[in-house]
Chains A and B, each alone.
Chain A
Amino acid sequence: MIDALRYEYIRLRTIRSTYWLIGLAMSFQLVMSLIIAWRMSVSTHPPKGNDAFDILATIGASTGFAPLFIAYIIGLLGVFSTGHEYRHGMIRATLTALPNRSTVFVAKVVSTALIAGLAALACIAIALASALVFDLNMPSTDELVNLTIGTVTFTTLFALSGLAYAAITRNQTAAVALLMLVPTVVEQIIRAIVLAIKTSSDDPQGTTGIVKILRFLPYDAGGKMYTRATLDDLLSFLGYIPFGPLGGGIVMGVFVSALLAISYVLFIRRDA
């Protein structure tokens, strides 16, 4: 296992995409965090309580009106960890250096999870520094811990889903498309269809029936780990009661675990 991790470590260190993806994510986080913090500091109605930190740490995603941008950038590292193997014909070289496929797969999962988690932690640090520089309200200890766990967990699971898409499809382009489209388009289409059916039902405001499906949209549910007020609140009159951070995290965790399980089985069974 150590050998496989050493291989992954050098693989990540010796390829440009690692640097430009992390650089892009951190640069975006730093620049946007500073701009938003500055605007908050000069506002006549600055955010109160934990809001300033929540918004800075997630660059607005905590409001539920925007995706967690850094997850999408770091998620590409997950796609590339497996996608590059197939796109550039590296998989056979990898498996002749490390013939134990389980070890190779686990090493990729561990390295992707580590890098995604560290990148998310760095975003939290940047948000705290920005709040400090512009003298904004610092978060409570509970909120700091909860949002950090939520952001790190979501980003890590998101990146791992990218890894799984690439391992399942063995096509980097398809995996990138899935990672971008499933959370932002597919889940929204499902939501629209479910709500259309719900509003035309006999009990449009009931909490039972088809609307329960919406609680299990994996990326939307996972988003509850870092969102504090969301569009979903506006849908409560249609009987939609989403999971909280823990429930949402479990839904996304189960979904990503299932994806990883499928990709692992295929990785073990398929020809390289």
Chain B
Amino acid sequence: MALIEAHALGKSYGANRAVDELSFVVHPGSVTGFLGPNGSGKSTTMRLMLGLDRGDGRTTFDGKAFSELEHPMRHVGTLLEAKPFHPTRKARNHLRMLAAANRIPTSRVDEVIELVGLASVSDGKPRKFSLGMGQRLGIAAALLGDPDTLILDEPSNGLDPQGITWLRNLLKHLAGEGRSVFVSSHLLQEMAVLADQLVVIGRGKMLANGAVDDFISHSSLGAVEVRSPDANLLGPALDALGATVTHDEATLIVRGVTAEQIGDAAHDAGARVHQLVTRAATLEEAFLEATGLSEEFRGSGVDEGGHA
């Protein structure tokens, strides 16, 4: 059992409200993705959950605040920084130090080093590590106490494609064992195949919270493509249903109604239909739609062709 309950988390920097009344639950046995544009407050939220930043609200792990947990690394594994270690302390010693604080046997240090694939460099100094190797060491630290909860901030940063696949399989496996995994990432395609649930924030406020499929299906960017030689009959019938219809050459792009509703309307209007294809929005489209007005930092206008 590893239930995370965040209630009314809040944090201000001067007049800027970085995190505002965020409440959500992360259930055991699931991977919950934490999404938001740059500067939306994801990292701050994670630090608030762990009591590292001072702010409002309360987060409990199976009913206890992080600071109330005895030997917290045995309950909650965390990765918050890209390279959270002294550059000249050997990787293995870094983990030994953390293990000592939580009464974790040294044999477990060797296990996690092996697990993350750093056995050959465990006696090396992290200053020579690439970003990806640093992330693996951070993941090893998070797994050190064999915790039932993981809170990981951008764990795939710097990992190569093989590393990303390895991490995805690892997190899915850990969730499959009944653990709670709360993970932020900018890699939306990766999150689409990794996460079961989503918490989406923008400018510190909750934008969406629920199952990934629900989040995507609620996007208005999902559409039904209709090919019909009787578009002049079908168009008004769809308008009457309240659908939004756009024309793309011989295809009607219909939003706001289901394929079944379109089929029924075509039948009633006596319009022939040659093709009826439901196209769901991608997670990226749904995310961009949800966070469109919540970007903290926005570049100058560049179109898809790369033209300013």
Identify the A interface with B (CB < 8 A).
3-4, 6-7, 9-11, 14-16, 84, 88-90, 92-93, 95-100, 269-272
**A14 cross-chain contacts in B, Cβ below 8 A:** 89-90, 93-94, 96-97
Who on chain A is nearest to B88 by CB?
A16
B255 interface residue (CB < 8 Å to A):
no
Supply 10 further A-B pairs (C-beta < 8 A) apart from A90-B84, A95-B50. A3-B102, A14-B90, A14-B96, A88-B86, A89-B84, A92-B52, A93-B141, A96-B72, A96-B78, A99-B66
Report the nearest A residue to B66, measured CB to CB.
A99
| Inter-chain contacts of B88 with A (CB < 8 A) | 15-16
B96 touches A92 (CB 8 A): no
Q: Which 4 pairs across A and B sit closest by C-beta, in order of nearness?
A: A14-B93, A7-B101, A272-B52, A97-B101
Q: Which of B69, B85, B93 contacts A99 (CB 8 A)?
A: B69
Q: Which residues of B contact A100 (CB under 8 A)?
A: 67
Q: Report yes or no: A93 in contact with B98, Cβ–Cβ below 8 A.
A: yes
For A92, give its contact among B66, B81, B97 (CB under 8 Å).
B81
Known: A16-B88, A92-B84, A271-B54. A6 touches B47 (CB 8 A): no
A100-B67, A271-B52, A271-B53 are known contacts. Are A11 and B97 too (CB-CB below 8 A)? Answer: yes
User: A93: which B residues are within 8 A, CB to CB?
Assistant: 80-81, 84-85, 98, 141
Specify which chain B residues have a CB less than 8 angstroms from the CB of A16 in the assembled complex: 88
- B176 on the A face (CB < 8 A): no
A contacts with B: majority SS = helix
Complex contact A3–B81 (CB within 8 A): no
Q: What is the chain A residue whose CB lies nearest that of B77? A: A96
Task: Tell me the B residues contacting A by CB distance below 8 Å.
Answer: 47, 50-54, 66-67, 69, 71-73, 76, 78, 80-81, 83-90, 93-94, 96-98, 100-103, 141
> Within the assembled complex, what's the spacing in Å between the Cα atoms of A46 and B96?
52
With a 10 A CB-CB cut-off, give which of B73, B86, B88, B89 has the most chain A CB atoms.
B86
When the two chains form their complex, are residues B85 and A88 in contact, meaning their CB atoms are under 8 A apart? yes
> Please, which residue of chain B has its CB at the minimum distance from the CB of A97?
B101
Q: How far is the CB of A235 from chain B (nearest CB, A)?
A: 45
Q: Is the pair A92, B47 in contact by a Cβ cutoff of 8 Å? A: yes
> Cβ of B101 and Cβ of A89 under 8 Å apart?
no
Contacts of B81 in A (CB 8 A): 89, 92-93
Chain B interface mostly: loop
| Residue numbers in A under 8 Å from B52 (CB-CB) | 92, 95-96, 271-272
CB-defined A-B contacts under 8 Å, sample of 10: A14-B90, A88-B86, A92-B81, A92-B84, A93-B84, A96-B76, A97-B98, A99-B66, A271-B47, A272-B52
Most buried by B among A6, A7, A92, A100: A92
Neighbour of B80 across the interface among A4, A15, A92, A269, CB < 8 A: A92
Contacts of A99 in B (CB 8 A): 50-51, 66-67, 69, 72
Tell me the minimal C-beta distance from A268 to chain B in angstroms.
9
Cα A271 to Cα B18 in complex, Å, equals 14
- The distance in angstroms between the C-alpha atoms of A100 and B50, with both chains bound, is 12
| Docked CA distance A6–B101 (Å) | 6
Partner of B86, one of A9, A15, A270: A15
Contact status A3-B97, CB under 8 Å: no
Chain A residue numbers with a CB within 8 Å of B86 are 15, 84, 88, 90
Output the least CB separation between A132 and chain B (Å).
38
B131 → chain A closest CB, angstroms: 14
Bound-complex Cα distance A271 to B97 (A): 23
Chain A residues within 8 Å of B67, by CB: 99-100
Q: Which residues of B contact A90 (CB under 8 A)?
A: 84-86
Q: In the docked arrangement, what's the CA distance between A4 and B97, Å?
A: 10
Cβ of A172 to closest chain B Cβ, rounded Å: 12
Rounded to whole Å, the gap between the CB of B104 and the closest CB of chain A is 10
In the bound complex, residues from chain A placing their C-beta under 8 Å from that of B78 are 96
Q: A89 to B54, alpha carbons, bound, how many Å?
A: 18
Q: Given the complex, which residues of A lie within 8 Å of B50, measured CB to CB?
A: 95-96, 99
Q: In the complex, what's the smallest C-beta–C-beta distance from B70 to chain A, in angstroms?
A: 9
A10: B residues at CB distance < 8 A:
93, 96-97, 100
Min CB gap B273→A, angstroms? 58
In the complex, the chain A residue whose C-beta lies closest to that of B13 is: A271
* Given the contacts A14-B96, A88-B85, A271-B54, A96 and B80 also touching, CB distance less than 8 Å: yes
Are B83 and A97 within 8 A (Cβ)? no
Report the minimal beta-carbon distance from B11 to chain A, rounded to whole angstroms.
9
What residues of B have a CB within 8 angstroms of the CB of A15 in the complex?
Answer: 86, 88-89
